[in-house]
A and B are shown apart, each in its own frame.
Chain A
Amino acid sequence: MFKLFTDLADWLTYSVLNLDPASKLGDAVHFFIEDVSKIYVLLIFMIYVIALLRASLKVEKVRDYLAGKHRGLGYLLGSGFGAITPFCSCSSIPVFLGFSSAGIPVGITMAFLMTSPLINEVAVLLLLSLLGWQFTILYMIVGMGVGILCGFFLDQIRAERWLESFAAEALQQARQAPSELNTTATEAEPERLTFSERHHFAKTETLDIFGRVWKWVIIGVGLGAGLHGFVPDGWIETHLGDGQWWSVPAAVLLGIPLYSNATGVIPVMESLIINGLPVGTTLAFCMSTVAASFPEFILLKQVMQWRLLAILFALLLAAFTVVGWIFNGFTPFIQ
């Protein structure tokens, strides 16, 4: 199925642009065209199909389901729902408040919010097609693990102390009167969706997501192509290939100012791994790029005090570093 894109890239690079297949430039351009065309087609197709299927899954339902669940199970479910529930990052504030006013502990809410950018269906399918199922499963376990453990830790340190007062009050009230589950008026909308409603949702979703990620794909693949064609073969492998301990925190720090969503960063992961960067270092770098982004952290300031925000940030960075070390440590045993 993917050969089509290789043929397209062959034709455009070698016939239309008349580049030499043996040259660095030809190699880089070929990689760029093949990956961008493949990812665009996959994205449009996958976003649409998945949006059709999950059109009826709403955060309100997730909240009602999570409210009143046992804590231990709550972290796992919170993180799992974070992975599959669609919501735009600009909704994280209302989601946070909605969960809190249903009495869901901060840790479970954060497990949901942290897993959400790391794992989404588009990222998973891209990983499957570019890096294979073993890596995809690894990535999902790690992404959910980070969300679950961070959520658990936040509840252990009683993070709700550092919420902004109105958010803390909402949580407090709900905890005292758990029977009165706040339900939203949107539930008045019909539960059963017709196909045309699903199609409308899926179409809007596809246009919206594609509109946001297409440029990240270009940047991601462009960087990948640069690495592919111009970084001397074996350079990364010689210098960083042993998974030197400092390379992991360095990769995490490097990922902070870089901001991308999971879709854009996957092509970069692909070429980093092909070029011999250890899996742990690559994972650490990519997760840091996706999840530790300032613009989204600043949004959370509306409901949290600086102190909690700083703890959260440090927690994520520490988690990614540990993930990197663990994977670098285990890689020799896997292969």
Chain B
Amino acid sequence: MKEIKVLGSGCSKCTKTAEAIQKIAEELGVEATVIKETNPQAMLTYKVMSTPAVVIDEKLVHGGSIPHRNQIEKWLTAG
């Protein structure tokens, strides 16, 4: 079970990122919870400066853009 957080102040890119991850996780049959984190303090915690950013199991893996499909698949299948 992966815990995935999408950090961002709620702009359209962040929403799209969260939706994409959710969709691909379902397609691959990977169990994952996708949470959208809009609290600015969270960005400070993970030291994120460009949103949307993706945190998987408390580890920052991506920031600044809507991630590529390949990237998302890699994250979901790793580990």
Contact = CB atoms under 8 A, between A and B. Distances in A.
A94 B68 contact: no
Q: Number of contact residues on B: which range applies? A: 20 to 34
B60 A170 contact: no
A166 B44 contact: yes
Contact of B49 (A98, A201, A302): A98
B39 to A, nearest CB: 9
Contacts of B44: 97, 101, 166-167, 170
B13 interface: yes
Interface string A75-109: 00000000000011011011101100100000000
A186 B8 contact: no
Nearest to B16: A208
B40 A184 contact: no
Which of A88, A98, A101 has the most chain B CB atoms closer than 10 A to its own CB? A88
A59 interface: yes
Contacts of B49: 59-60, 63, 91, 94-95, 97-98, 184, 186
Contacts of A87: 50
A59 B49 CA distance: 7
A204 B66 CA distance: 8
Interface string B60-73: 11111110100000
A63 B13 CA distance: 23
Contacts of A310: none
B50 A91 contact: yes
Interface in B28-46: 40-41, 43-44, 46
Contacts of B46: 185
A193 interface: no
Interface in A157-203: 166-167, 170, 182-186, 189, 200-201
A88 B47 contact: no
Contacts of A97: 40, 43-44, 49
Nearest to A92: B9
Contact of B9 (A170, A182, A183, A299): A299
Contact of B47 (A91, A95, A184): A184
Nearest to B8: A90
Contacts of B14: 90
Contacts of A170: 44
Nearest to A62: B49
Contacts of A299: 9
A58 interface: yes
A303 interface: yes
Contacts of B8: 90
B43 A94 contact: yes
Interface of A: 58-60, 63, 87-88, 90-91, 93-95, 97-98, 101, 166-167, 170, 182-186, 189, 200-201, 204, 208, 299, 302-303
